[in-house]
Structure 1
Amino acid sequence: GERGPEGSGVSGRGGGTGFVGRALTQLLRSRGHQVTHVSRQGGTDRISWEELSHSGLPPCDAVVNLAGENVLNPFRRWSDAFSREVISSRVETTKTLAKAIAAAEQAPRAWVLVTGVGYYRPSPTAEYTEDSPGGDFDFFSRLVSSWEAAALIPGSPARGVVVRSGVVLGQDGGAISQMLLPFRLGLGGPLGSGLQPFPWIHIRDLSGIVCHALEKESVQGILNGVAPSSPATSNGTFAQELAAALGRPALVPVPAWAVRAVFGAERAVMLLEGQRVLPKRTLESGYHFIFPDLAGALKDIVG
C-alpha cells in the first residue's frame, strides 16, 4: 500500500486491545503511524469514551472501529441480556464514534468499520461478493445491517470503508485458541455435517486489509475480509487441515445437537451453516494476501 502520513487511528471498546486490535496496532505503528485507543479508562495513548463524548474526537487522520462482545463465548449462555450486549457493543459504539466524527471540527480522512460475513445468508451453494444482498433473515444478518447503518455519516468528507470479516485465524486468540485443545488431544473434528462453508482469514491479512484501506485514498465501500481460497474451504476441510498441521487425526465429528446444546440455536447457525464469500472488491482494490491458502495460514499459526 501507499505510505500514509503520520496519523492516529482510534479504535473501539475492546477494539484496540482485543485480538485484532493488538495485531492492527502493531502493524500501524511499524508503518510509522501513531495509534490512540478509545477504552473505558483514559491514559497513555488512549482516551476514554467519556472524554470522547465530552471533548469530542482528538485531531486524527482516521478512525477504526473493531468493537464487539465475543459472540461465541461458550461460557455465556444465550439470553436476551447477552443478545442486547452483543448488539450494543457493536451498534452503540459505532453510533458514538460516527457522532464524534460528524461533530469534529476537522473530519478524519477515513472511517473504517470491521463487521462480519454473517451479513450474507448461510447457504451450501450460493457464492457472495461485496455486491450480494443480505442483512435480513436471522439475528446476525440483522445485527450486521444495523451495525453498518450506524456507521453512515451523511455528507461527511471521511472515506467510509466496511470490512466484512470471516472467521479470524491467528495465535493467542480468535477461533483457533478455542479449537486447539480438542485437536491436540486427537478429539477435534468437523462440526455437524462438515459440508458447510467455512469463511476464514488470517489475522495478518485482516489487519493488512484495514491498513490498506487506511493508507490507500481510492479504497471505499464494502470489502470482504476472507482469504481468496476461503470459498473452497468447508468445515470438514478446515478440520482435516488443522489436524494435519498439528500432526493429529481429525476423527471425532461434533454432532449438530451438541453444538446447539453448548451455544444455543442462534449461535449454532454460525457454526453449522456458513457462507461462501469471495474477496472480489478487496482483490480489485490492490490488496495482496499474505496467506491466500489455508495450509500456509495454519502452518504459520500452529506449525
Structure 2
Amino acid sequence: MADSDLSLHLLCVFFPIFLLVFLKLIVRPRPVNIPIKSRHVFITGGSRGIGLALARQAAAEGARVTVLARNLEKLEEAKASIRLSTGIDVGIVSADVRDFDAVKKAVESAGPIDVLVCNQGVYASGEIENLEVKEIKGMIDVNLIGSFNVVKAVLPGMKNRIDRKPVSIAFMSSQSGQQVGIYGYSAYAASKFGLRGLAEALQQEVIADDIHVSLIFPPDTDTPGLEEENKRRPPLTSIIAASSPVMRLDEVVKKALNGIKSGSFFVPCSFKGLLLSIETVGTSPQRSYFMAIVEVILTGALRIVAMCLQWSWYDSIKKWHTKRSSKFVA
C-alpha cells in the first residue's frame, strides 16, 4: 500500500474516533436526566391546547401539576377535564403573566417548583403595516416579557429547593416563529426569537444550581387555536407554512416532555424541526455527544438545503405579487 493510501486510510479510521473523544470532552452542559414523578410541574398557559395536554400527560406520569392561566373559569374546566381523563386533581392558579406581582403571588401559593414550563402565548399573523400596535405589543408582552416575569418569580424557590435533584425551566417556542422567520410572522417571530436569547443566557446563569433550560419547537399543531389562527393568516403565510405539515397534539406533547426530562436545550418536535435545529444551532448548548457529531457533519450541507427553501419561499412571494398585480391591471 502506498504511503498516501495508508495515510488516507488512517485518517478515515482515526478521525471519527478523535472527533468523538474531542466532542465528549468539550460538550457542555453534561447529559442529565430530570425526573418528574412525584415532583412539582408548573405550566403557564395550561388551560387549553398544548399546555393542557402537557399538564394531563405530566399528571398521568405521576407529577404534581399546577396550571396557571388568566381565566379562572377555563382553569376550572381544564382541571375537570384532567380529572375526568386521569382521575388526578391538578392545582390551578389565576394570574396574568404580564403582571409580575400577580405571578409572584401565584407562584408562592403553589409552592416550590421542580419543572417550569413557560407555555403561555398569543398569536396574530399579518404584515407589519396591517397589525395594530397593541397587537404587536401584546405578543411581546405575553410571549417574551411574560416569560421573564414567570422565571424571575420561580427562580428563588427553585434555587433554594431542599430536593437537590436536577430541575428544569422550559420555554414553549415555535418552529415557524422562532427557528425561522417567515412572511406574516414578523411580530410573532420577534417575540419568539427573543426566547432563544433568554434561554441561552439563562442556562449559563443557572447551571451551577443544577437547573437545566429547554427550548421547545412545536410546528403547527392540531389544536382549536390553530383553526382560529388560520382564519386570519395572510395567504402567503399559509402557502409558506404549508411546507411543514400539521402535527398531532399527542405527538408534540410526547416530544416536549421527553425533551424536558432529558434536559435537552433544543427540543424539536418534528423531523423538519430537527433539521432546522441542526442548521441554526450556532453557539447553543448541546448535551448529546451524538447530536454534536451530527451538527458538525451536517451543518454546512443543511445550509444549502435552507437556501433552497428560502428560494422556494421568495419564488412564491414573487409569483403571488405578480398574480396580484396582473389582477389590478385587468
- With structure 2 as the length reference, what TM-score do the two structures score? 0.52
Match of 1:175 in 2: 226
Q: Which has the higher helix share?
A: 2
- Paired residues for 1:89-238 under 5 Å: 89-104=142-157, 105-106=160-161, 109-117=167-175, 118-121=177-180, 138-151=186-199, 152-153=201-202, 154-155=205-206, 156-170=209-223, 173-176=224-227, 197-198=243-244, 200-216=246-262, 219-225=263-269, 227-228=270-271, 230=272
Determine helix, strand or coil for the equivalent of 1:201.
coil
Match of 2:54 in 1: 24
The one-letter code of the counterpart of 1:31 is: E
Give the drift of 1:102: 2.5
The one-letter code of the counterpart of 2:93 is: I
Give the drift of 1:161: 0.4
Match of 1:130 in 2: none
- 8 Å contact from structure 1 (residues 110, 158) kept in 2: yes
Give the drift of 1:279: 7.9
- 8 Å contact from structure 2 (residues 179, 277) kept in 1: no
- The yes-or-no answer on 1:10 pairing with 2:45 is no
Cα distance, 1:279–1:205 mapped onto 2, change above 3 Å: farther
- Paired residues for 1:46-65 under 5 Å: 46-49=92-95, 50=101, 52-54=103-105, 56-57=107-108, 58-65=111-118
The one-letter code of the counterpart of 1:112 is: A
Question: Could you tell me how far apart the structure 1 residues matched to 2:218 and 2:112 are?
Answer: 28
Give the drift of 1:221: 1.0
- 8 Å contact from structure 1 (residues 223, 279) kept in 2: no
- 8 Å contact from structure 1 (residues 8, 60) kept in 2: yes
Larger relative CO (CA 8 A, sep 6+): 1 or 2?
Answer: 1
Superposed CA offset, 1:29-64 (max 9, x none): 111112101233598712344554247542122111
Unaligned runs of 5+ in 2: 1-32, 77-89, 96-100, 280-285, 292-330
Match of 1:131 in 2: none
- The yes-or-no answer on 1:33 pairing with 2:33 is no
**Greater Rg over alpha carbons, structure:** 2
Give the drift of 1:194: 6.7
- 8 Å contact from structure 2 (residues 125, 188) kept in 1: no
Question: Could you tell me how far apart the structure 2 residues matched to 1:201 and 1:279 are?
Answer: 20
- 8 Å contact from structure 2 (residues 266, 277) kept in 1: no
Give the drift of 1:85: 0.6
Give the drift of 1:3: 6.3
% same residue: 10
Superposed CA offset, 1:263-301 (max 9, x none): xxxxxxxxxxxx97468989978xxxxxxxxxxxxxxxx
Question: Could you tell me how far apart the structure 1 residues matched to 2:278 and 2:67 are?
Answer: 28
Give the drift of 1:214: 3.3
Question: Could you tell me how far apart the structure 2 residues matched to 1:282 and 1:89 are?
Answer: 29
Question: Could you tell me how far apart the structure 1 residues matched to 2:143 and 2:241 are?
Answer: 30
Question: Could you tell me how far apart the structure 2 residues matched to 1:67 and 1:37 are?
Answer: 11
Determine helix, strand or coil for the equivalent of 2:173.
strand
Unaligned runs of 5+ in 1: 125-136, 181-188, 232-274, 286-303
Determine helix, strand or coil for the equivalent of 1:223.
strand
Q: Which has the higher strand share?
A: 1
Cα distance, 1:141–1:59 mapped onto 2, change above 3 Å: same
